[in-house]
Every structure is written in structure tokens, then in C-alpha cells.
Amino acid sequence: MATVAASETTALFAALRSGADALCRLAEEGRLSEEGARALADEVASAFGLDGDVVRAELCSRTLGDARMPALPPRLAVETVVRLLAALAPVRGASLWASGGDCLSAAGRTSAEARSLATAALAGRAGHGDVMTAPVRSWGRTAAVLVLEAPPSAHPLCRDLAAEAAGSVALALEREALLDRNRQRERSLVEASERRLARLAFDIHDGPIQIVAALGLELRLLGDDGSDAPGRDRALRGLHERLAALEAELRELTQTLEPTSIARRPLDASLAGQAEAFGRQHGITVAVETAGDLEGLTPSQRIALVRVVHEALTNARDHGGATDVRVAVRGDRRGVTARVTDNGGGFDVATALAAAARKGRLGLVGMSERVRLLGGRLEVESRPGGPTTIEAYLERWSPPAAAAASTAASAGRPVPVTA
Ligand SMILES: Nc1ncnc2c1ncn2[C@@H]1O[C@H](COP(=O)(O)OP(=O)(O)OP(=O)(O)O)[C@@H](O)[C@H]1O
Ligand SMILES: [Mg+2]
């Protein structure tokens, strides 16, 4: 830019700014073409009588640095970066290669040897004179490599552009990986809730619906019954008992299925209620032992632990044929551990997980996902013959405001009160 007279500098910068703005808009609309970008840069260069290569490189750099670039959908961002390089850097062609050797994007006249050059660069070997490579570093590792095909004389101009471009590509790849992970999590959570709903339907079918059917039958018999008053009294008492059983059954269902009730109760009370109901319903001994400090857990943590224990109990009954299950929960200053051990037949964990993934089973996966979403970990220990132990660990967590309040309070300073 040194060849521009001072009076023209402002006009030149304005032209470059509006050029970068136009290129970003075209990129957002998916209409950015190499010819268009080059024509725009050449127009600016000839209007100011400047060297084309320098103006193109400047326009490329400004467009790569525009605040709208990181907001493009990741794939479009990657394509735009490669296209901008091919159009505006002094190169014949530009391409981007993933660490596995796949071409993520290519533009301009890329040579047949681009792939082997990229592979060599990924393996840490240098390219030859007509090629420049730039690693794309993401989360501490080389995730991809940019290959710019240009004569050695153009390398100094290319180097800064390649570094800027590699930064933009790294951001786009990281965003894509995060979006991908979110999509997977969402999918497994949706599937897990669908299975839970299906399970709710089975629970309602096998429990309350059976009781209601029996009640209907008894009422009909009572209507047809020509027996005396004491006989009818006895029958009515029976009906009352069944109604009470129905109410209890429905309460149990809501207790295990409605998260708000778990969220409101202390963890030990929820676990004890669940164990008692489960044991009574299925004729299994379920012992709950709690120790240490279980106060101060968040509602999400309590819900996750109750759900994990419930799934472990269900699996112990359905798959292990267990008759005795121990639930041990211990809390300390750092976190809380819930361990469920059953005396059932056990299983080979790796094989069962692979089979469960094939069949779309979500019990163990759902448990682990719940705990992982809260930053904890889940371990499954079992072998054919048993026993089986499921252990969930969640770290204590306090909201930043509470943490700041306790730090400030212990330092004797005033605590800001926020709504
Ligand atoms: N406590 C256990 N005892 C014996 N086998 C178990 C136990 N827990 C899990 N398994 C085995 O692991 C497999 C996967 O369990 P998971 O809970 O993921 O799925 P599922 O119970 O089969 O189906 P879902 O929970 O989705 O209804 C089970 O099918 C079973 O073979
Ligand atoms: Mg299961």
C-alpha cells in the first residue's frame, strides 16, 4: 500500500472495506465466485493504479478477518476460505485436507499431487518449491492442512494469508465438531425420552389398567349380585381396598416419573421411596444406605442420580434376575457417588454395550449420557456370573453467583446482591 498518495489512502481503504463487505455478503448468500472476487480486486487495483497481487492479498486478508466470517455455517466458511485463497492469493490452486487424507475443499487449478503433498505435510514433511502448506491446528492437534500451489517468489505474500486462513478454518472445524456432538446428544436424549415414554406406557398397562379392569369386573358382579347386605358390605370394602391400591400405584408412578417431585425432595428420601416401591412391586430386596453430606446437590443432579438408580434397578430385575440390590450413596465436599450393586447373573459389559448399540437400547447409554452432561462419570463393572456394580459420580457444583458470594463473604467484603 506504500505506493498510494496520502490523500488517496482514505478512498482506497473505503474501497477495500466495501469490497470485503461485498465479498462477505456474496459468501453469506452462497454466491461467492473466484472470478467475481478477482474482478472486484482488479477494479480497485486499476482505480488506484496499484499492483494487482498486493490489492488482491489485502482484500483477501480483510475478507478473512471480517466479523461475519465466523458466523457462516461451518462448511460454507471452509469453502469460502479456500475459494478466497484461490481467487485472491497469488496461487494456482488452494485445497484443504483433513488429517485422515480426505479433501475438504478445493478451488482453482489444484494439481493431482495435492493429496500426497497434504499427506506429507500432515506427517511433518516439507513440500517442494512450488507448494506451500499451512497446518490447521485445532484443540492442540493438527486437524487439517492447507495446500497452496504457488511459485517460491509468491510465498512471502502467501504466508500471512495462509496463517490467517488456517485460523478461520480451525474455528469453522471446531464449530462443526461441536454442532455435530450437540446433534448426537440431542438425538440420544430424544431417543431416551421416547423409550422412557414407552416404559411409562408399559408401567401404566401392567399396573393401574389391570387394577381398573379388575374394579370394573367386581362392580359388575356387585350389580348382578343378589346377596344380602353383609355380603355387599364385604364386596364394597374389597372395592375400597382396590381403589386405595390404585391410588398408591399411581402415586408411585408419578413419584418416579415426574421430575419435579424428585427435584423438590432430598435425595435420600427420593431414593428410599423409589427402593421401597420397587422392592414391593417386584419382590426384590432393595437396601439403601446413605452416608456423608448429601445436601446442596442441584435439582438436575438429584434427578440424574434417581434416574440412574432406577435404570440400574430395572436392569437388575429384567436382565440379571437379581433378588438383592444394594444402593450406597456417599457425599463429601467434592461430590457424590451412587453405587448400585446387584446379586444377579452379571454380563460381559463390552459385548452387551455393542449389542445394545446395535439394537438401539438406551438404558446404559442414557445413564452415562445423563451423568456426562452434568460433568460426571459413570462406570459399569460386571462379568458373567455377577455381581454387577453401576457407579455414578457427580462433582458438587455451585452457581458462580453463590461461589462468588461465599468467597467474598469469607474475605469479609460486601457481597453484591443480584436479582
Ligand atoms: N444388571 C444387569 N445384569 C445383567 N445384565 C445387564 C444388567 N444391566 C445391563 N445388562 C445387559 O446390558 C444390556 C444393555 O442394557 P441397557 O439398559 O442399555 O438396555 P436394555 O435394558 O436391554 O434396554 P432399555 O434399558 O433401553 O430398555 C442388557 O440388554 C443386558 O444384556
Ligand atoms: Mg435397561
pLDDT at residue 326 above 50? yes
pLDDT at residue 309 above 50? yes
Which of the listed residues 278, 308, 315 should we mutate to test ligand 1's pocket, taking the one with most ligand atoms within 8 A of CB?
315
pLDDT at residue 276 above 80? yes
Is position 142 within any domain? yes
- Containing 299, the helix (H) or strand (E) segment is helix 299-315
- Say yes or no: 69 and 175 in one domain: yes
Count of domains for the chain = 2
DSSP string, 34-79: HHHHHHHHHHHHHHTT--HHHHHHHHHHHHHT-TTGGGS-HHHHHH
Per the structure, the complete domain to which residue 56 belongs is given by 6-181
**Of all protein residues, whose CA lies closest to atom 25 belonging to ligand 1?**
363
- Say yes or no: 151 and 300 in one domain: no
In a 3-state reduction of DSSP, which class is residue 131?
strand
Distance 149 CA to ligand 2 centre (A): 55
Q: Confidence band (pLDDT; 50, 70, 90) for 106?
A: very high
- Say yes or no: 31 and 158 in one domain: yes
Range of 22-26, 128-132, 200-204, 309-313 with top mean pLDDT: 22-26
Distance 65 CA to ligand 1 centre (A): 51
What's the mean pLDDT in 93-109? 92
Mean pLDDT for the chain? 85
Is position 247 within any domain? no
Q: How far apart are CA 213 and CA 416, in angstroms?
A: 60
Is position 54 within any domain? yes
Is position 37 within any domain? yes
Nearest atom, ligand 1, residue 361 CA? 26
Is position 243 within any domain? no
Contacts of 279 (CB under 8 A, 6+ apart): 285, 286
Ligand 1 pocket, CB under 6 A: 195, 315-316, 318-320, 342, 344-347, 352, 356, 361-365, 388
- Containing 252, the helix (H) or strand (E) segment is helix 229-257
- Say yes or no: 176 and 290 in one domain: no
Report which DSSP code applies to 92: S
**Bond before 156 cis per omega within 30 degrees:** no
**Of all protein residues, whose CA lies closest to atom 12 belonging to ligand 1?**
352
**Of all protein residues, whose CA lies closest to atom 30 belonging to ligand 1?**
319
Closest CA to 59 of 30, 29, 31, 27: 27
* Phi, psi angle pair for 343, to nearest 5°: -95, 25
**Of all protein residues, whose CA lies closest to atom 7 belonging to ligand 1?**
315
Look-up of cell digits 471452509: 78
Query: What's the pTM?
Result: 0.51
What confidence score (pLDDT) does residue 322 get? Answer: 96
Q: Which residue, 147, 162, 181, sits at the end of a domain?
A: 181
- Say yes or no: 167 and 271 in one domain: no
| Bigger pLDDT: 179 vs 264 | 179
pLDDT at residue 371 above 60? yes
Is position 33 within any domain? yes
pLDDT at residue 44 above 80? yes
Is position 250 within any domain? no
Residues in the chain: 419
Ligand 2 (single-atom ion) residues, CB below 5 Å: 315, 363
Lowest pLDDT segment from 72-86, 111-125, 254-268, 322-336: 254-268
- Say yes or no: 134 and 280 in one domain: no
Q: Are 83 and 34 in contact (CB under 8 A)?
A: yes
Rounded percentage of the chain residues whose pLDDT exceeds 90: 47
Q: Which residue, 147, 181, 215, sits at the end of a domain?
A: 181
- Say yes or no: 177 and 272 in one domain: no
**Of all protein residues, whose CA lies closest to atom 6 belonging to ligand 1?**
319
At 53-98, the pLDDT tens digits run 999 999 999 999 999 998 899 999 999 999 999 999 999 999 999 9
Q: Confidence band (pLDDT; 50, 70, 90) for 281?
A: confident
DSSP string, 174-194: HHHHHHHHHHHHHHHHHHHHH
- Say yes or no: 37 and 172 in one domain: yes
What's the mean pLDDT in 280-292? 92
Q: Are 292 and 330 in contact (CB under 8 A)?
A: yes
pLDDT at residue 414 above 90? no
CATH code, 389 = 3.30.565.10
Q: Which residue, 181, 214, 245, sits at the end of a domain?
A: 181
Q: List 141's β-bridge partners, or say none.
A: 138
CATH code, 70 = 3.30.450
366 alpha carbon, closest ligand: 1
Which of the listed residues 199, 317, 347, 353 should we mutate to test ligand 1's pocket, taking the one with most ligand atoms within 8 A of CB?
347
Is position 345 within any domain? yes
- Say yes or no: 176 and 271 in one domain: no
Distance 220 CA to ligand 1 centre (A): 42
- Say yes or no: 172 and 273 in one domain: no
Distance 316 CA to ligand 2 centre (A): 9
What's the mean pLDDT in 31-53? 94
| Bigger pLDDT: 67 vs 229 | 67
- Say yes or no: 271 and 374 in one domain: yes
Look-up of cell digits 359388575: 220
- Say yes or no: 147 and 285 in one domain: no
Distance 311 CA to ligand 2 centre (A): 6
